[in-house]
Structure 1
């Protein structure tokens, strides 16, 4: 516990035992609130002290007036200023501190809730008042000339970027767009949205908050949500920028990397070769055919289309067995059996046979209608009819 926390605990105990000490504590707190930073030890924590050697004695001993008698203490701070004084303070705050506040919103806070909560704690405002105050500061930073013209009951100049929006000041001093839906049965914010600059840090925080609260919508969807309350100049560009910087949106819209395709095999680029000189084979089915006695026309691939030089297939047991049979026959009768090079795909990689896999799909699609018509007529194709198809 810090020294401030220990003092607070001690005074709380003293308040129950000695009301006099509690009264003096409240008075000292009120004086410290109104004092300058040089005499208030609570401000030392926000000055960026580098080491313990930089801590002045004020942090350990407190202000000097605590060692004096009560009648020599400074004048106590009044927590209830008059309405005129309050307006003057707010006016000076808007004009002189706007740069610092805008910088704090952009650099010191990660989201809009933190910025609003900080203003609530420092200014004693509720959520709506704190947000309106931040908006006023951001507008005054971006539209100072327009604000002064509207405050003087004048229209903005024709060269202003707000001219087409017919801006006006509401009761809180916020610049709003007049629009043409004043008679619509919608909320006041939707009738007259708040005008914001896209470069303002506060505007970026507002867009980011709406983007996260509505589960990362698209550009047009998010623009519709924002325009129910705000009119952001060049808002679509800002929304796109926020979505591009969102890690979750980057993952959702990410595209797989495009790999450079390798060269085609030499067999597929051969010129002047007969059909089926290089053959890729695969099985599909089963298909039901009608086999009649003594009418089976036995043919094989070699007799019909000639012997291929190379065969490509997967590692099916029937293909591996056929290759073993060719090797065995060639070793027994090399003068009669022509060699056939059988090249197998890599196991577990069906995409290597993409050329025959795509043709199998095309053949299935073309044969589906014919076979369905024949089966609907309760008729099966004969073997030679299936070969013709």
Structure 2
């Protein structure tokens, strides 16, 4: 095993500037699992890191500075062509020594493991077993940390080699030129920060502090794998044979040095914690771990209850001088007995009992939680002067901040309502409290929750917190959510004929019946609504029956005043839900018999919406509702004469045609665009003629009656 002993001549690769992909392929193609050529190959890994840091793509040529390093790396590879390494490191089965050297620099950190074996009384043989070099991370790391990384790398490699060797290892020695690392290894790892502590703990598991020794940097062979490649890298190099002092007796090795321990910045900071006991300090659970105010309150009450049970109970045992059983010598000595002594009562055996939460514990827990919330929000010292409470008149009562109002003299009002407790709405306890009120009052509206909260608490920013609580409430999300509306379709071409006169494309619909007075009898009349699909104007006609002739007469009257339509839309009768059977049958018969044929003679194209799709007739159904709303103001249960009803229909038509088609964007605009602008050139109609009273409704003058009926509508 080892790197390729006869690598190919790299002149063909040096002929041009390589790309990132080619450099990576060439560097990674070298196979050196034992790290024997680490001083040369580490430059290739550093080159890949530099190219990666430049941010170029895989097929882009490398930068000029990287090209210089690339050529130098290819030149250094030629030194490996004639390199021959003897892999036999032990000529006898006697035990030997493992010597591990570690070093680090800003470029890389490395280790080298050597086998030292005694051949005769004064001769030693040193052979390189394995080496390893790694580039430093992209993120800057201090040199002491890199030296520690190198020491950990050497520890792992020495342990792996020792486990694989069949020859007994008599001694292990680890060499480093870092005085900081030597000081760390001889110190308790728990005194350092996690980065250093974790690595020192692993080193401590495999080595002993006395196995680590210091070596000068000039005699450290691991330093060759952290610098530039040596110019004379052959089998006689120090990297393969180890430092010269390993050939000598141990007495001539580098002497241990005593280093002055100085702060390295990796030690943990020591804090002196002084505890002070206050009378108001109470243990409270972490409110962030609770999702309900009731649970937090009960948990706090249980903690208080547990503390009371853990405290030793004291009882007063009075010794009376009057009882001879307690003091038999009292009559002779007349000695005074101690008044009372305190005895700690200890139960003979532990008992188990379920103690329910009583109101005193709950009230005490609530007071502790509210006091904790105020202390965290407004501070423990002078909370009345907190900037958030600058505009509020607050007072401190029984350890709680309360808002002082002007109703202190009111009777039969709870004291908590007179002076509510002040809380910050951003605190978690206040949010849990608002959530409790929101759920307790059946997820009611904001005003209800706000009214109930302010009976006892004055929470800053209450309205916004209630709104946010309702938004986060899962119940409100489920039961108050609205379905997602489907995307609206395109308008038909008849709705977009803006260059043609009104009512060129129209729609017709019936509504009613409405009762009118004819002589002494009541008869039914139906309203016929024509709407322009382009301008959204309406035209009203009164039909005496539901026959096809009556419908066509209404169409002729509309055409005489508005012009003959080219296209007419209507439903097919199935959408008249709630209408009488006669109206449905008449519309269906009219569609099937006379209306279509006669409309064709008038050069009118009649279109019907599909059955069971009333949404397609929304263009006229919505206007029918507007007309009905306008008529409901005047008609109600009255039975006007036919002429009065006709007048009311026309006035309702005028009101509907006076509605704005678009909203006014600016307040200085005189009026909005209405359908009347397309029909009569202006929005409003003629003013009312005369002034009439409600008594005129019973008169015989139809004009006065119609005017009185229509006055509320126009108002």
Instruction: Compute the TM-score of the two structures, normalised by the length of structure 2.
Output: 0.32
2:493 pairs with one of 263, 266, 269: 266
Q: What is residue 454 of structure 2 aligned with on the other side?
A: 227
Matches within 5 A, 1:86-125: 91=279, 93-94=281-282, 101=284, 104-107=286-289, 109-124=290-305
Shift of residue 225 of structure 1?
2.0
CA distance in 2: counterparts of 1:141 and 1:367, whole angstroms = 63
CA-based RMSD of the aligned residues comes to 4.7
Q: For residues 343 and 117 of structure 1, do their structure 2 counterparts lie closer, same or farther at Cα, with a shift above 3 Å needed?
A: same
CA distance in 2: counterparts of 1:271 and 1:256, whole angstroms = 34
1:191 aligns with 2:381: no
Q: Is the 8 A contact 2:471 2:477 kept in 1?
A: yes
Q: What is residue 207 of structure 1 aligned with on the other side?
A: 434
Which of the pair is proportionally richer in helix?
A: 1
Matches within 5 A, 1:336-347: 341-347=605-611
Q: Is the 8 A contact 1:326 1:339 kept in 2?
A: no
1:126 pairs with one of 341, 358, 361: 361
Q: Is the 8 A contact 1:290 1:380 kept in 2?
A: no
Over residues 305-354 of structure 1, what are the superposed CA-to-partner deviations in whole Å (9 max), with x where a residue is unaligned?
58754442222365665565589979xxxxx9687543221211223223
Shift of residue 175 of structure 1?
2.7
Q: Alignment partner of 2:402: what SS?
A: strand
Shift of residue 256 of structure 1?
6.1
Matches within 5 A, 1:308-347: 309-316=566-573, 341-347=605-611
Q: What is residue 379 of structure 2 aligned with on the other side?
A: 144
Over residues 192-226 of structure 1, what are the superposed CA-to-partner deviations in whole Å (9 max), with x where a residue is unaligned?
22222222222111111122222233333323322
Matches within 5 A, 1:232-271: 232-250=459-477, 254=481, 257=484, 261-270=488-497
CA distance in 1: counterparts of 2:650 and 2:453, whole angstroms = 65
Over residues 245-281 of structure 1, what are the superposed CA-to-partner deviations in whole Å (9 max), with x where a residue is unaligned?
2234446765565665443321233356577654433
Q: Is the 8 A contact 2:570 2:608 kept in 1?
A: yes
Q: For residues 213 and 128 of structure 1, do their structure 2 counterparts lie closer, same or farther at Cα, with a shift above 3 Å needed?
A: same
Q: Is the 8 A contact 1:374 1:380 kept in 2?
A: no
Q: Alignment partner of 1:161: what SS?
A: helix
Q: What is residue 150 of structure 2 aligned with on the other side?
A: none
Matches within 5 A, 1:157-168: 157=385, 160-168=387-395
Over residues 113-152 of structure 1, what are the superposed CA-to-partner deviations in whole Å (9 max), with x where a residue is unaligned?
2112212222126111111122222222223343xx47xx
1:356 aligns with 2:583: no
Q: What is residue 688 of structure 2 aligned with on the other side?
A: none
Shift of residue 106 of structure 1?
2.1
Shift of residue 164 of structure 1?
3.8
Q: Is the 8 A contact 1:168 1:178 kept in 2?
A: yes
Over residues 72-95 of structure 1, what are the superposed CA-to-partner deviations in whole Å (9 max), with x where a residue is unaligned?
xxxxxxxxxxxxxxxx9773744x
More displaced 10-residue stretch of structure 1: 128-137 or 337-346 = 337-346
Q: For residues 341 and 193 of structure 1, do their structure 2 counterparts lie closer, same or farther at Cα, with a shift above 3 Å needed?
A: same
Q: For residues 299 and 198 of structure 1, do their structure 2 counterparts lie closer, same or farther at Cα, with a shift above 3 Å needed?
A: closer
Q: Which has the higher contact order (CA 8 A, sep 6+)?
A: 1
CA distance in 2: counterparts of 1:319 and 1:129, whole angstroms = 76
Q: Is the 8 A contact 1:323 1:342 kept in 2?
A: no
Which of the pair is proportionally richer in strand?
A: 2
Q: For residues 265 and 181 of structure 1, do their structure 2 counterparts lie closer, same or farther at Cα, with a shift above 3 Å needed?
A: same
CA distance in 2: counterparts of 1:119 and 1:357, whole angstroms = 62
Q: Is the 8 A contact 1:139 1:197 kept in 2?
A: yes
Q: Is the 8 A contact 1:167 1:177 kept in 2?
A: yes
Q: Is the 8 A contact 2:425 2:461 kept in 1?
A: yes
Q: What is residue 170 of structure 1 aligned with on the other side?
A: 397
Q: Alignment partner of 1:119: what SS?
A: helix
Q: Alignment partner of 2:388: what SS?
A: coil
Q: What is residue 55 of structure 1 aligned with on the other side?
A: none
Q: Is the 8 A contact 1:313 1:319 kept in 2?
A: no
Q: Larger Rg: 1 or 2?
A: 2
Q: For residues 141 and 337 of structure 1, do their structure 2 counterparts lie closer, same or farther at Cα, with a shift above 3 Å needed?
A: closer
Q: For residues 258 and 195 of structure 1, do their structure 2 counterparts lie closer, same or farther at Cα, with a shift above 3 Å needed?
A: same
More displaced 10-residue stretch of structure 1: 222-231 or 277-286 = 277-286
- Segments of 5+ residues of structure 2 without an aligned counterpart are 1-275, 306-359, 514-523, 526-542, 574-584, 652-715
Q: For residues 266 and 114 of structure 1, do their structure 2 counterparts lie closer, same or farther at Cα, with a shift above 3 Å needed?
A: same
Q: What is residue 14 of structure 1 aligned with on the other side?
A: none
Q: Alignment partner of 1:196: what SS?
A: strand
CA distance in 1: counterparts of 2:608 and 2:372, whole angstroms = 73
More displaced 10-residue stretch of structure 1: 282-291 or 117-126 = 282-291
CA distance in 1: counterparts of 2:613 and 2:483, whole angstroms = 20
Q: What is residue 537 of structure 2 aligned with on the other side?
A: none
CA distance in 1: counterparts of 2:287 and 2:467, whole angstroms = 21
